[in-house]
Amino acid sequence: MSGRWRVRAGAAGLCLSVLLLGTSCSAEKPPDRDSTAVQRLLDRRADAVLDRDGAAYRATDSGPLARRDEAFENLEQVPLSSWDYQLDHLTRKGTRATAAVQLRYRLDGYDRAPVVASRTLDLERRGGRWYVAAERPADKATQQLWEQGEVTAVRGERSLVLGVGRSAEQLRGYADLADRAVPAVQDAWGPDWARRVVVLVPGSVDGMAGLLGASAASYQGIAAVTTGEAGGSNKAPADRIIVNPDAYDVLGDFGKQVVLTHETTHVATRAATSAATPLWLSEGFADWVGYRGSGRTAVQAAPELRRAVQRGEAPDALPGDDDFGFAGDAGKLAQAYEGGWLACRMIAEQWGERQLIDFYRAVGGHKRRAGAVEGALRDVLKTSPEKFRARWQAYLRAELGSGIG
């Protein structure tokens, strides 16, 4: 299955001057000499990355030459429009130091704002100068793709695909699918989004887990997820569609297209999705767009729910957020997705596609979960939660067979 996304929030520091009594002001304590020197080192390192200057990059690093070359070469194909480090804190012990740093970077043509990544740098001083001995994600921070190997970049008409351990030809297949997904989503949702996507293809499910800061076991069988900022504005970086190649590669062509169209829908709807949006709606809507126009029937696309209906175990309520947990029972997870999809499909068929989109926007427009669905059902679909649930149950019975009591 696919379609999970996580909220990733970045923090920006704000420096204020405080007006004291009288006419005097307090000034911030100037940084110490070592902090100033380290920030200059980081500035040189950032410039070397942007300038694609391997010699200048290696000159900032004291690690083994092979490791320095690998770290720089892994980034060589990543299209960057900005890259800088901000030193947050420096802990010194003799000629050694540890720096807490914020890395900010943008992918050229895609990120409207910098991606912010917390980093830890080990430093050492030689001959009166500081050098980077090692750079890694901060504690509990996620990996970046280039830390998993040399990145290959492929640009599509509407997509940027970055992969590790894959040839450009293999990654072209992802770009082609993403290029078809974007207009399909635009046709369903409308044009008010970036209409381009970034796809990350790590080498394995372990690599996917590293990018998401979770265990690989959480994503076994999950074909892709989308990361982004809920309610994302023009100040948010572009979403990232992260593929699990272990699960994605076993899908057929149709399944691969549905997955990328589903994930692209999350990119398009991000600004209209909020904490008020239940997962049955966000995931069900993404599946509705993914299957839209495919001709797939409910029996074909909802096999787990059909079996439950035929066993007389049909759900008596729309799936809750907990039903979409990755680590739970795979069959129940599939039923949750299928149930959400059929609810959105029913709205599109019985009320209209325009009303489905208006319903989605109305729910996400609430400031909190309580009352969001109920209010949108009343205002957009002119019905109540009880009537909607009964109508959904009747729809399941009609589409999947007998079994609802």
Quick one: which of 40, 23, 44 has its CA closest to 31? 40
Q: Where is pLDDT greater, at 247 or 31?
A: 247
Question: Strands 224-228, 2-7: parallel, antiparallel or unpaired by DSSP?
Answer: parallel
- The percent of residues in the chain predicted with pLDDT above 70, rounded, is 89
Q: Mean pLDDT throughout 190-216?
A: 94
The region of weakest confidence among 56-65, 215-224, 333-342 is 215-224
pLDDT at residue 218, as a whole number: 82
Give per-residue pLDDT as tens, 225-277. 999 866 555 567 889 999 999 999 999 999 999 999 999 999 999 999 999 99
Q: Where is pLDDT greater, at 398 or 230?
A: 398
Q: Mean pLDDT throughout 399-404?
A: 69
pLDDT at residue 168, as a whole number: 97
Give per-residue pLDDT as tens, 293-333. 999 999 999 999 999 999 888 899 999 999 998 666 788 89
Give per-residue pLDDT as tens, 328-366. 678 889 999 999 999 999 999 999 999 999 999 999 999
pLDDT of 7 higher than 60: no
pLDDT of 380 higher than 90: yes
For residues 204 and 285, give the distance between their C-alpha atoms in angstroms, rounded to a whole number: 28
Give per-residue pLDDT as tens, 138-195. 999 999 999 999 999 999 999 999 999 999 999 999 999 999 999 999 999 999 999 9
pLDDT of 26 higher than 80: no
Please give the DSSP secondary-structure letter assigned to residue 112: S
Q: Mean pLDDT throughout 364-391?
A: 97
- Measured over the CA atoms of residue 44, residue 61, residue 56 and residue 125, the dihedral's sign is positive
pLDDT at residue 327, as a whole number: 65
Q: Where is pLDDT greater, at 241 or 404?
A: 241
Question: Between vectors from CA 114 to CA 238 and to CA 12, what angle results, nearest 5°?
Answer: 120
pLDDT at residue 97, as a whole number: 97
For residues 223 and 248, give the distance between their C-alpha atoms in angstroms, rounded to a whole number: 5
For residues 45 and 65, give the distance between their C-alpha atoms in angstroms, rounded to a whole number: 15
pLDDT at residue 1, as a whole number: 44
- In the block, which residue shows the tokens 């410039």? 47
Given pLDDT bands bounded at 50, 70 and 90, which one contains residue 21?
very low
Q: To the nearest whole number, what is the mean pLDDT of the chain?
A: 89
pLDDT of 27 higher than 90: no
Question: For the chain, which residues make up each domain, given as ranges?
Answer: 31-142, 274-405
Helix (H) or strand (E) holding 78: none
First CA to last CA distance, the chain: 29
Distances in whole angstroms, Cα of residue 321 to Cα of each of 16, 324, 369: 40, 6, 12
Per-residue buried b or exposed e for 272-296, using 16+ beta carbons within 10 Å of the residue's own CB: bbbebbbbbbbbbbbbbbbbbeeee
Q: Which CATH number fits domain 31-142: 3.30.420.40, 3.10.20.600, 3.40.50.12780, 3.10.450.50?
A: 3.10.450.50
Give per-residue pLDDT as tens, 97-141. 999 999 999 999 999 999 999 999 999 999 999 999 999 999 999
Q: Specify whether the CB–CB gap between 124 and 63 falls below 8 A.
A: no
Q: What would the two tokens of residue 164 be?
A: 């590790």
pLDDT at residue 23, as a whole number: 37
228, amino acid identity: G
pLDDT at residue 235, as a whole number: 66
